[in-house]
């Protein structure tokens, strides 16, 4: 398995997996919205600066 070199891409991958699980199996817990927002902002910011 290949390792992700960019932290931004890793956070984006985690966000996409969580987003898919929430839609597919109804995964939900307190603070999920806040967690998703933080992951999206962190991934976007890191991708913009090239990390």
Domains of the chain by residue range: 7-49
pLDDT at residue 1, as a whole number: 64
Q: How far, rounded to the nearest angstrom, does the alpha carbon of residue 33 sit from its chain's CA centroid?
A: 12
* Both tokens assigned to 27: 């995964």
Cα–Cα distance, 20 to 48 (Å, whole number): 23
1-51 pLDDT, tens digit each: 677 688 999 999 999 999 999 999 988 889 989 999 999 999 999 999 887
pLDDT at residue 28, as a whole number: 85
pLDDT at residue 29, as a whole number: 86
Element (H, E) at 33: helix 32-49
């Amino acid at each position: 398995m290949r390792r992700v070199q960019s932290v931004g891409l890793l956070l984006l991958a985690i966000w996409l997996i969580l987003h898919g699980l929430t839609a597919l199996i109804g995964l939900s817990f307190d603070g999920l919205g806040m967690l998703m927002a933080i992951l999206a902002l962190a991934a976007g910011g890191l991708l913009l600066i090239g990390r």
